[in-house]
Structure 1
Amino acid sequence: MIDAHIHLEQYEPDVLEDMLAELRGQGVESLVAVSMNLGSCARTLELAGKAPELIKPAYGYHPEQPLPDEDELAALLRFIEEHAADMAAVGEIGLPYYSRAEALERGEAFETEPYIRLLDTLLGLAARLGKPVVLHAVYEDALTACDLLDKHGIRDAHFHWFKGPEEAVARMIERGYYISFTPDIVYEPEIQVLAKRYPPELVMAETDGPWPFEGPFTGRPTHPAMIRDVAAAWGALHGYSPAEAEALLSANTQRFYRLHKGTGSLE
């Protein structure tokens, strides 16, 4: 299988080394490693250089953090352009739903418009480079993201760990956008309802590691092999065997990220 979304550079080096060494034996062929900011992109690039057959890098700016200044943004855009040939996607990019909600809960003002402009800039770059995008855009933010995807004519969009209103779900399905499920599909009824609703051919599996999970995963470090638990839970909702579910989700991920089967290399 392929972990469609993981923050590899956030793992401790010794943990990461052991984890990568054992992946093949645990049924994991490759990983789409997303980035948080310019420094994160550089670390992801270094990791991918050490294991290019296993790690497929994506470069972007995660929205749940302060905005970059002009110099950092310019450097990030240059970095993405310089490494476009060897990256799987532009990502992780999106809108700051959780940061905004937390600020409003504290009674603080929060300006969303600058984040929308940043996402617009990054989507424009992805469109020019002809690259897929990995989106952090949940709930009502998904509708804004859809508007911007339409603006730039982008059809290859992956909404990771998605949750959102029916209006967004219907629009995303109509556009053929992909979503991915994390291990929380095993124990979250809300996610299971979405999994039943979304077309099987537009679904992938991810861990978003090292983010921790609850339920049967409580206290366990997040490992890419958990995508097999995701596949089994998702498959059960649709009447697929675990093997059938793994094969279908893997094929979807290979197709979306333009990976060659068996090698993990980019087309």
Structure 2
Amino acid sequence: MFDAIDAHIHLDMYPEERARQMCEELASDRVLGLVAVSRHLVSCQATQRLRKSFPDRVWAAYGYHPEQALPSAEELAELLAWIRERKDEMVAIGEVGLPYYTRTEVEAEGRHFEVEPYVEMLEQFIALAAELNKPVVLHAVYEDADVVIDLLQQHGVKKAHFHWFKGPASTVQRMIEAGYFISITPDVWYEEGVRTLVREYPLTHIMVETDGPWPFEGPFEGQETHPRMVHAVIEQIALLKGLSMGETAAIVRGNTERFYGLSEPDKD
């Protein structure tokens, strides 16, 4: 194995004792660290605690995941203020985006889904990323991604990470031209669409992730999602790109370090 970084994991969604144990296991698994994203204020606070316990292994991203009910105006203002006050301890704004899966489920039932309030909330997070000069970690797939790209460009945010991306070739081309990054999950082993994306996307803009604790199928069926799974992802990327495992691992790790500024000393 070669050194790797899990570029997107919900560390706070594991039982806290297990999350801490996983962080302790990273070195033996040749995982240098994790970019831990957050879902709401309580989630951000949990991520913050883990970051403080493992400052050299957990890099925090703070945000509000879109696949849930909207916060009240007061709750959103409190979260934005909380993030702004902690800008020096985080590497990114995230996870933020648009509620594609919730919206399509509601619409499939014949009900109307009001997406505009989610777009307005996302724009506040993108504006905050621009203000703080931070990358943004995005949950934005299919047609939602084009809306998000428009917002990023309106606010001049160039450092965008579309995690576990799915979408049409036209959107992929927009992302490539804008220099946005994507991250690949273990489903590259069994999802042809993901394999096609890897073939088409520049390796210089690819990272790897687990999105843990989300479970995977194929060879990972029934297994706990663990950061060590990124090595299996790198193996498939190397195969699809026709490169050695070592070269691929070095490029992907370098991408992640460069995008998130992980080579900088800890600020605490």
TM range (shorter): over 0.9
How far is the alpha carbon of 1:22 from its aligned partner? Answer: 1.1
Amino acid in structure 1 at the alignment position of 2:252: L
Q: Determine the structure 2 residue equivalent to 1:230.
A: 233
Deviations 1:137-195 (A, max 9, x none): 00000000000001000000000000111111111100100000000011111100011
Mapped partners of 1:49, 1:14: distance in 2: 15
Q: CA shift at 1:250, angstroms?
A: 0.2
Q: RMSD across aligned C-alpha pairs, in angstroms?
A: 1.3
Asked whether 1:220 is paired with 2:223, we answer: yes
4+ long deviations beyond 2 Å: none
Map 1:35-74 → 2, pairs under 5 A: 35-74=38-77
Distance 1:241 1:226 in 2: 18
Cross-structure match for 2:194: 191
Give a deviation string over 1:113-152, Cα, whole Å, max 9, x none.
Answer: 0000000111001100000000000000000000000100
The TM-score with structure 2 as length reference comes to 0.97
Q: What SS does the aligned partner of 1:201 have? A: helix
How far is 1:107 from its partner?
1.6
Identity %: 51
Equivalent position of 1:94 in the other structure: 97
How far residue 20 of structure 1 moved from its aligned partner, in angstroms, is 1.3
**Structure 1 length-normalised TM:** 0.97
Structure 2 stretches lacking a partner, 5+ long: none
Letter in 1 for 2:16: P
Unaligned runs of 5+ in 1: none
Q: Does 1:29 align with 2:32?
A: yes
Q: In 1, distance between residues paired with 2:262 and 2:203?
A: 19
- Structure 2 contact 5–34 (Cα < 8 Å) conserved: yes
In the alignment, the residues of structure 2 paired with residue 181 and residue 227 of structure 1 have an alpha-carbon distance, to the nearest angstrom, of 9
1:148 alignment partner, one of 123, 147, 151: 151
Q: How does 1:1-267 map to 2 (within 5 A)?
A: 1-260=4-263, 265=266
